[in-house]
Structure 1
Amino acid sequence: MNDQPFDLDLLKAFAAVADCGGFTAAAGRLNSTQSTVSQKVLRLEEQAGHRLLERSHRQVRLTEAGEQLIGYARRMLALDAEVRQLLSGASVAATLRLGLPEDFAAGRTTSTLAAFARRHENVRLEVTSGLSRELRSLYDRGELDIVVVKQRRGTGDAVKQWQESLCWIDSAAHPVLALDPLPLVVFPPRGLYRDDMVAALDASGRRWRVSYTSSSLASIQSAVADGLGISLLPARVVHDRHRTVGPQQGLPMIETMEIALYYRPEAGALVTRLAEDLSALIGDDSRDEV
């Protein structure tokens, strides 16, 4: 790596390729040509001294060095945009990047975020929802300012943690609990609750099979309600088309998860205020702080 400052134009091309997943789409976003974008990324790789992208016919992926750089690249580009706004006489909007699990990114949460935005009109909220492991990875790479994630109890250095109450659910109209093997509706591999379900059933000697897999909470809820299998979900997302089951039906209790709030104390007053609002929201849902 040489000592020259990074060229923002090269960083912009790199970020566009990462966001679009390919050079052709990135060229369209930048109103440029594919070859020009490719040359800019090559020049950035030479300057960084590392290969930043793995290229194939189907897709483009970040290398380990690319994953390390992309967060800094976006922050540098955002800072450049803010400086340009300031010098042009326009009011500068602070950007807060928030990550939420899918089951938090609706309902009372959106009301809380809307109220925060109304109190702070100079703040632009960017909300990303997804699996907790993905959100935590984005936070660790500096691409999110504050995250709410699910994790195993006592496994992280979160600012705050709350116990997550889990329960087994079956269909109210089409129960399947008596089937052998027991059909399971699950999140994808490495998704939360899946390993806990399997370990608990194995320990109890109950035969099981995966009948439905989805990364969407709404899809999981519907699959259970329609009788495709049972699942393990937070108690707060159970609705009237579900039937809660548990030890009385031979299913073990599972109390291994917590909700965790992460943010960097040095991030500033606005992040702290948003964290306080989220803490109040989570605390209102009858969870015990740990």
Structure 2
Amino acid sequence: MLDPRLLRAFSTIVDAGSFTLAADRLHMTQSTISQQLARLEETVGSMLVDRAARPVEPTLAGERLLGYARRILALQQEAEAALRDPAGTTSIRIGVPEDIVSAAMAKVFNDFAQRHRGTQLDVTAGLSRDLTRRYRAGDFDIAVVKEPEAEPDSRATFPETMAWFESADAPARWPNPIPLVTFPPGGLYREAMFERIEGEELRWYIAFSGSSLHNVLVAVEAGLGLSLLPRSATASYRVRQYAPFGIGPAMAVSIYSWESAGPVSELVERMGAVLAASRMAA
């Protein structure tokens, strides 16, 4: 392995064109810098500079090594700078449902990252039941989940108004069986939809199953079927409430965190403020 100190001595001698000037630039004696060059030449097995030339010039072997030496020294400087910069040296892992990552929530994340440059925010979007399981398993430091009822250890919980939606261009009457647009098995609203339809003594079938809220809303917007959705998530889509079924049972949007102090607690508080404001607006 080539010692960066020896490479620096070599490149400085070539740049300065003089052992004396190079020694001054590196704040060492001329004998020391001469010894360092000699050690490097011994390591590579070649003379690297023409000592008789004025100014000092690299030999052919020195010219070949010089580019590599400068790249190695630049990488070393870059690595040292990266290690001195605390940005991203710790991580806060956050699990959230897809529709929670709004512009307001993203701004909370950005503001927090600007104030805490040593912290990297690792945000995962997913279905609430999977997020809950992973939070309990220790995969997340903070989790926002939608659930029928908040658990006792939630940091805060907010009501989520649910309603049935159809395309803005939907027909006056839906056929029987009724086509439904749902999340995959395990999705939080899926069973509630089936129970309501069967309670009306109607038949149903799955017309579309989407793994993201956006996909489900696009399918409803296109007229593929009915779906039970958070009212707060539908504003930018061409959908309308399906009057015969109306409002569904409210869900709880709950926020959990393992820590109750420090930066994590600060982030939880700001996330909770965004959740509260968005639910009030809905």
Report the TM range for the smaller structure's normalisation. 0.5 to 0.7
CA contact (8 A) 2:97 2:126 kept: yes
- What does the per-residue CA deviation read over 1:40-88, in whole Å, with 9 as the maximum and x for residues that have no partner? xxxxxxxxxxxxxxxxxxxxxxxxxxxxxxxxxxxxxxxxxxxxx9xx7
Deviations 1:1-58 (A, max 9, x none): xxxxxxxxxxxxxxxxxxxxxxxxxxxxxxxxxxxxxxxxxxxxxxxxxxxxxxxxxx
Residue 265 in 1 paired to residue 256 in 2? Answer: no
Give the superposition deviation at 1:287: 3.8
When residues 276 and 126 of structure 1 are mapped into structure 2, their CA distance, relative to the original with a 3 A threshold, is: same
* Alpha-carbon offset, residue 265 of structure 1: 3.2
Equivalent positions of 1:43-82 (< 5 A) are none
SS in 2 for 1:219: helix
Is 1:116 matched up with 2:112?
yes
Is contact 1:185-1:230 (8 Å) kept? Answer: yes
Among 218, 241, 246, the residue aligned to 1:244: 241
Tell whether 2:274 aligns with 1:277.
Answer: no
Q: Residues 17-166 of structure 1: matches in 2 within 5 Å? A: 91=86, 93-155=89-151, 157-166=153-162
Whole-Å separation in 1 of the counterparts to 2:151 and 2:267 = 24
Distance 1:145 1:240, change over 3 A: closer
Judging changes above 3 Å, is the alpha-carbon distance between structure 1 residues 181 and 286 closer, same or farther for their aligned structure 2 residues?
same
Q: Work out the CA distance in 2 between the residues paired with 1:243 and 1:129.
A: 26
Q: Report the Cα offset of residue 120 of structure 1.
A: 1.6
Pair 1:90–1:252, CA change in 2 (3 A): closer
Matched-pair contact (CA < 8 Å) for 1:176–1:227: no
SS in 2 for 1:162: strand
Question: In the alignment, does 2:185 pair up with 1:192?
Answer: no
TM-score scaled by length of structure 2 = 0.65
Q: How far off its partner does 1:190 sit?
A: 1.3
- 2: distance between equivalents of 1:115 and 1:177? 48
- In structure 1, the partner of 2:179 is 183
Contact 1:177 1:230 in 2 (8 A): no
8 Å CA contact 1:168–1:244 kept in 2: the answer is yes
Distance in 1 (CA, whole Å) between partners of 2:216 and 2:172 is 15
Structure 2, gaps ≥5 residues long: 1-79
Q: Cα distance, 1:128 vs. partner?
A: 0.7
Q: Which has the higher mean CA deviation after the structures are superposed, 173-182 or 268-277?
A: 173-182
2-side partners of 1:275 and 1:209: how far apart? 40
TM-score, normalization by structure 1: 0.63
Please tell me the root mean square deviation across aligned C-alpha atoms, in Å.
2.1
Q: 2-side partners of 1:96 and 1:283: how far apart?
A: 22
Residue number in structure 2 paired with 1:168: 164
Question: How many aligned positions are there?
Answer: 198
Alignment-mate amino acid for residue 278 of structure 1? M
**Does structure 1 conserve the Cα–Cα contact (< 8 Å) formed by 2:150 and 2:254?**
no
Q: Judge conservation of contact 1:170–1:176 (CA < 8 Å) in 2.
A: no
Q: Is the 8 A contact 1:96 1:271 kept in 2?
A: yes
Return the offset for 1:285.
1.4
| Alignment of structure 1 residues 197-208 onto 2, 5 Å | 197-208=193-204
- The Cα of 1:153 is off from its aligned counterpart by 1.8
Q: 1:177 to 1:224 in 2, by over 3 A?
A: farther
Q: Percent same amino acid among aligned pairs?
A: 32
1:156: Cα distance to partner? 5.2
Report if aligned partners of 2:144, 2:256 keep a CA contact under 8 Å in 1. yes
Where does the alignment leave 5 or more consecutive residues of structure 1 unmatched? 1-84
